[in-house]
Structure 1
Amino acid sequence: MKNKLTGNLVLKIGSVLFAAILWLLVTNINDPATSSKFSNIPVVIQNADAITSQGKVYEILDETDIIDSVTVVAPRSIIDTISKENVVAVADMNDLTSLNTISIRLSTNKYNDRLDSITGNIDSVKLNIEDKQSISLALRATYTGSVGDGYMVGDVTTEQNLVRVSGAESIVSRINKAEVSVAVTGFTSDIGTVEEIKLYDANDVEIPKTNLTLNISTVRVNVEILATKEVPLNFSVMGTPADGYRATGVVSSTPASVVLAGKGSMLKNISSLDIPDTSLDIAGLTENLVTTINVGEYLPGNVELGDKKFDGNVAVTVYIEPVIARNFIVSKDYISILNMPEGYEGEVSTFENEFPIQVIGLSADVNSINGDEIRGTVDIADLRERGIIEEVEEGYWDVPLSFNLPENVGLRENVTVRLNIREKE
C-alpha cells in the first residue's frame, strides 16, 4: 500500500508544479501585471499630538508632505479600478527619527492585498521641530489712498482690538505688529468692510502666516470719512493795558486759519473758530502780549482739527502801543450849536477867538487827523439827556464841548465853554 502512495510521488509533485506554472501563464496572458503612476499624493500626518503635546510645533520641509509620483504595480484588472483617490500615504509621528524624518507608508484603500508593489519618489517626510510660542498683539488699523476732495479720514477702528498668534518660536519672535489696511481712494462717506489681518516684522516686511495659527484671520474695520472746512481764527481780548497804553485792536496769529473736520451738517454753520477772551488778558500791560494757545481746546462738539500734522498750537500776538498827544488850535467860528428848541437861540463864548485842544490816542489814529477839519459842537439834546441842562430857558450854562474826532481818539482834558441861551425876539 505504501508503495502505491509513494511510487508516483515525483510524478505527482511535478504535476502540481506544472499546474501552478500553467495557471500563472494563463493568468499573465489573460490579466498581465502592469503599472500606473499617480501624481501629487498628499501625505496624511498621524498622531501629531506626539509633538504638540510637548509644547512644540513642526513645519514640513521641502514640501515632503506631497509625493510627486507614486507607482502602483498590479494586475491590469486591479490597476483599471484604482484612481488617485484610492492611493493612501500616511506618516506617523510616533515613527519620528532622530533626524526629524518620518517614513511614509503607501497603500491603496481597495485591493491593497492584490498589489504587486507601490512606491513613491520619496519615502519620508522631513520636519523642522521647534518650541511653540504664543503672543497677543494689539490690532492696528490703517488706510491707503486719498479720499475725495474736501474730505479726510477720521477714526479708523476695528471691532476686535487683539489678535493671538501661535507658532514656531523662530517665526513668532520676529513679529512686531499686526495690522489691517483699508483702501479709501475716492470715498466721501463712512466705510465698513472686512479685511485680512497681516503680520509684519520690525522692518515692515510682511511675515507669511502659512505656519502660524491666529485666533482670527480677518476683522471688520470701520473708517470714518469727515468733511473739511477752512475757517479764520477770531480772538477776543479782556482787560485794559496800563495807563498811557492801549490795545491797537489788532490780534495776529500763526496760522491765521485752521481746517476743521466733522460731518457736513456740523460744519455748514461754522464761519470762524472763536477763541474766548479768557485766553488773552492784557490788563496792566505796557507791551505786546505774545503767547501760545491750543485752539483744539475750543472746538465745537463733534468737530476736530482737519490736519493731523497740526497739534493745535497757535502763536498769538495782541498789539499794544503807547498813546501819543497832539495839539490843535480850534477857531471859535468852528463851534456850532445843535438841537436848540424852537423859539430859542444860543451863543458860545470863549475867552479867545481861538483855543487849544490836546488829543490823545494811538499814533495811527492821532496822526490821521487834519486840524483844519476839526469842528466843535454843543448838542442841546445830549446835554438834556445827560442832565447838564434840565430845562431850556434863558441863561448861562458852562457846558462841555464835543469834537468830531476819530472813534479811538479823545481829549486829554475836556474843554468847557459858556453857553448863552436866550429867547428869540
Structure 2
Amino acid sequence: MKKMLTNNLGLKLLSVVAAIMLWLIVVNLDDPYTYRDFSPIQVTMLNENVVTDQGKVYRIEDNSDVISLRVWGKKSVLNGLEADNFTATADMEKNIKYDNLVGIEVSCSDKNIRTADIIKSRENVVISVEDASSEQFNVIVKQNGKEADGYLIGTALPEQSMIQISGPASVIAKIKRVEVEIKVTGVNSDRVIHGKLNVLDSNGEAVDTTYLEYTGKTDGMDVTITMLRTKTVPLKIGHTGTPGDGYSFSSISYKPESVQIAGASDVISGVSAITVPDEAVDIEGITENQQQTIDITPYLPDGIRLADDADASVAISVEVEKKQGKTVRIPVSDIGLKNVPRGYEVDFGDVDEIELIVTGTSAELAALNTDEIAVSLDLDGCSRAGTYTQKVEVTFPDTVYSLMDDVEVEFELVKSKSTGNSSGSTGNTSGVSGNTSGVSGNTTTGGSTSGESSSGDSSGTENGSGSDSGTSGEEKKDDSATE
C-alpha cells in the first residue's frame, strides 16, 4: 500500500496542484475575487462638542471630509453594493491627532465586506480650530432688474433690518455687507417680494457661508416695497451778485439740464421744474470764469426725490466778459431839463451834442437801443444868470449798461427872451400863475425849446385862466402908457 502511495509521487503531487488550480480557475470564472471603487463618500464628524464647548469652532480644510473607497470582495457581493452602504465617520473625541487631524473609520452594511477589505483614499480629516465669533449686520436690499416704465421703488423694507451671524472669527471678520436680493423686473405696484441672502466681503465677493449660522432667517427674507411715479423735469438755475469792476455777466450753463424725479402720483403731477434759488450761485466780484458744483437735493419739493441720486450734483459754469466801450452821441435838444428857475432858459451855445461812452459786453452793446437812453440835467442850485458846468444824469434801459466816465456839459442860464411872459408877470398876478404853470410843465419835457415854451402862450395851453390873465395884464399896461 505504501509502495502504491509513493510510486510516482511527483506526478501525483503535480496532478493535485493542477486540480486545485483548475478548481480555482473555474471558481474565479464563475464569481471572481476583485475590487470596486466607490465615491464620493461623505465623512460624518462625531462629538463636535469637544471643540465647540471650548468656545471655539472648526473648519474642514481642503474638502478633506469627502473620500473615495476601493473595496475588495467577490464580484457578486460588490455588484450589490452602493456608496450608501458605507459609513465614514471621524470621531473628534477619540480619533483627534495633533489638534488638526481626525482619523477616519469606514464600515460597510454588508457583513461580507470586512474592514480590511476597504482601502481609503485618505486616513484623516484635516481641520483648523479657531475662536468663535458672532456679530450683527445691517440688512441691505439689493434690487435686481428694472421696474416698469414710469415707476420707481420708493421704499424697500426687509422684514429684519439686522441679522446676527455666528461662525469662525476669521470668516466673520471678512463680512462687510449682508444683502437680501429681490427681483423687481416689471414691477408697477406695492407688494411683498421674497429675496435670498448674500454675504459679501469688502471686494463684493461672496463669503463662504458653510460654517456660518444665522439667528433668525436662513433661507432669505421678505421685502415690502412701495412704488413711486417718475417724471423728467428741467432745472432752473439763476445767479446773484455782480462781477468785479470792468466785467459783466455773460452766461450760465449747467449739467444736467434736466433730472428725473419720483414721488406719489398726486404730488409729482404738480411739479413742472426744479428751481434752484439765485443765492445758490453767487458771482459777486468775480473777474474770471467760474465753475462750481451744487447739491440740488435741498431744493426738491416736499414729497419729491431724485430717481437717480447721481443727479444730485449739478456742475455749473458761469462765464464773465470784460466790458467794452461804445460811444453814443446825444443831441443837447434831447436833454431833459429839471428845476429850471422861473423866467430863465438854458442856452447850450455852439454845442449840438454830447458824447457818452457806454460800457457792456459785446453782445449787450450790440443790442443797445440808443433811443431808450434818457439824459437829464438838474438845475437845482442854479438860480442866477451865468455860465455853469453840470454833470448830466443818464438812465439806461437795462442795468447791465453803465458809463465809463461821468459826462459834464457847459451851458448858460439866461433870462427868457419872451415878452409875453414879462408882460404877464407885470400886468397880472394871475397871469404869472398861469405862466408859472406853463414853465413847470415844460421844463420836464427837456431841451432849449422847453425854455422858450415858458411863454404866455404855452402857459395858456397848460392853464387857460393864466393865459387870459396874461393878456389882460398886457392891455392894462398899454392903456397906462397912453395915459
Question: Which category of TM-score, normalised to the shorter sequence, fits these structures?
Answer: 0.5 to 0.7
Q: Is residue 288–residue 320 contact of structure 2 (8 Å, CA) maintained in 1?
A: yes
Aligned to 1:101: 102
- Counterpart residue number, 2:48: 48
- Cα distance in 2 for partners of 1:323, 1:399 equals 36
**Residue pair 1:96, 1:102 contacting (<8 A) in 2 also:** yes
Show the counterpart of 2:299.
298
After superposition, the Cα gap between the structure-2 partners of 1:369 and 1:177, relative to the gap in structure 1 and judged at 3 Å, is: closer
Shift of 1:236: 6.4
Corresponding position of 1:20: none
1:272 aligns with 2:273: yes
1:290/1:60 Cα in 2 relative to 1: closer, same or farther (>3 Å)? closer
* RMSD between superposed Cα atoms in Å: 5.7
2:130 aligned partner:
131
Counterparts of residues 5-44 of structure 1 (less than 5 Å): 44=44
Q: 1:262 to 1:245 in 2, by over 3 A?
A: same
**Worse-matched range after superposition: 315-324 or 49-58:** 315-324
Q: Among 224, 233, 236, which residue is 2:236 paired with?
A: 233
Q: Name the SS for the 1:211 alignment partner.
A: coil
In the alignment, the residues of structure 1 paired with residue 164 and residue 90 of structure 2 have an alpha-carbon distance, to the nearest angstrom, of 30
Counterpart position of 1:210: 210
Q: Counterpart amino acid of 2:235?
A: P
Tell me how far 1:193 sits from its aligned partner: 2.6
1:145 and 1:130, CA in 2 relative to 1: closer, same or farther beyond 3 A? Answer: same
CA contact (8 A) 2:259 2:311 kept: no
Instruction: Note the C-alpha offset of 1:145.
Output: 4.2
Inter-CA distance 168–331: structure 2 relative to 1 (3 Å threshold): closer
Confirm or deny: 8 A CA contact 1:142 1:181 kept in the other structure. Answer: yes
Total equivalences in the alignment: 337
With over 3 angstroms needed to count, the CA separation of the structure-2 counterparts of 1:308 and 1:256, relative to structure 1, is: closer
After TM superposition, give the deviation of residue 128 of structure 1 in Å: 1.4
Deviations 1:263-286 (A, max 9, x none): 153332222222334446678x69
**For the structure 1 residues 287 and 355, does the alpha-carbon distance in structure 2 shift closer, same or farther, using more than 3 Å as the test?**
farther
| Compared CA separation, residues 42 and 313, structure 1 to 2 (3 A) | closer
The match for 1:326 is 328
**Rounded Cα–Cα distance in structure 1 between residues aligned with 2:158 and 2:224:** 6
Q: Judging changes above 3 Å, is the alpha-carbon distance between structure 1 residues 302 and 325 closer, same or farther for their aligned structure 2 residues? A: farther
Q: Whole-Å Cα distance in 2 between the matches of residues 262 and 105 of structure 1?
A: 64
Q: Is the Cα contact below 8 Å between 2:229 and 2:268 reproduced in 1?
A: no
Aligned residue for 2:441? 399
| SS of structure 2 residue aligned to 1:94 | coil
Letter in 1 for 2:58: V
Q: Secondary structure at the match of 2:301?
A: coil
Q: What's the CA shift for 1:53?
A: 1.4
Deviations 1:384-416 (A, max 9, x none): xxxxxxxxx96543236889xxxxxxx9xxx88
Query: Quick one: distance in 2 between partners of 1:282 and 1:92?
Result: 79
CA distance in 1, matches of 2:243, 2:48: 84
Aligned residue for 2:50, secondary structure, equals: helix
Offset from partner CA, 1:71-125 (integer Å, 9 cap, x none): 999xx9xxx9x999998665533222316223436476xxx9xx56555554966
User: CA shift at 1:254, angstroms?
Assistant: 1.9
The aligned counterpart of 2:255 is 255
Structure 1 stretches of 5 or more lacking a match?
A: 1-36, 336-349, 375-392, 404-410
TM-score, structure 2 as length reference: 0.50
Does structure 2 conserve the Cα–Cα contact (< 8 Å) formed by 1:168 and 1:212?
Answer: yes
CA contact (8 A) 2:275 2:299 kept: yes
Equivalent residue number for residue 60 of structure 2: 59
Give the Cα separation in 2 of the matches to 1:241 and 1:308. 33
Local SS of the residue matching 2:97 = coil
Is the Cα contact below 8 Å between 2:253 and 2:317 reproduced in 1? yes
Q: Is the 8 A contact 1:89 1:107 kept in 2?
A: no
Q: Conserved in 2, the CA contact under 8 Å of 1:152 and 1:228?
A: no
Distance in 2 (CA, whole Å) between partners of 1:402 and 1:269 is: 50
Give the C-alpha shift of residue 307 in structure 1.
4.0
Q: For the residues of structure 2 that align with 1:201 and 1:369, how far apart are their CA atoms?
A: 69
Does the 8 Å CA contact 2:330/2:355 hold for their aligned counterparts? Answer: yes
Q: Gaps (5+ residues) in structure 2?
A: 1-35, 337-344, 375-432, 469-483
Q: Secondary structure at 2:309's aligned position in 1?
A: coil
Distance in 2 between the 1:291 and 1:141 partners? 37
For residues 282 and 170 of structure 1, what CA distance do their matches in structure 2 show?
55
Distance 2:48 2:64 in 1: 17
Are the equivalent residues in 2 in contact too, given 1:359–1:366 (CA < 8 A)? no
CA distance in 1: counterparts of 2:90 and 2:367, whole angstroms: 102
Structure 1 residues 26-49: Cα deviation after superposition (integer angstroms, max 9, x where no partner): xxxxxxxxxxx9997766543221
Distance 1:142 1:288 in 2: 45
Kept in 1: contact 2:256–2:314 (CA 8 A):
no
Q: In the alignment, is the contact (CA less than 8 A) between 2:233 and 2:274 conserved in 1?
A: no
Give 1:131 shift. 1.0
The question of whether the paired residues in 1 share the 8 Å contact of 2:243 and 2:283 is answered with: yes
Contact residue 295 and residue 314 of structure 1 kept, 8 A: no
Tell me the SS of whatever aligns to 1:227.
strand
Question: SS in structure 2 opposite 1:206?
Answer: coil
Aligned amino acid, residue 193 of structure 1: I
Please give the alpha-carbon distance, in whole angstroms, between the structure 2 residues aligned to 1:355 and 1:220: 89
Determine the C-alpha separation between the residues in 1 that align with 2:70 and 2:270.
Answer: 74
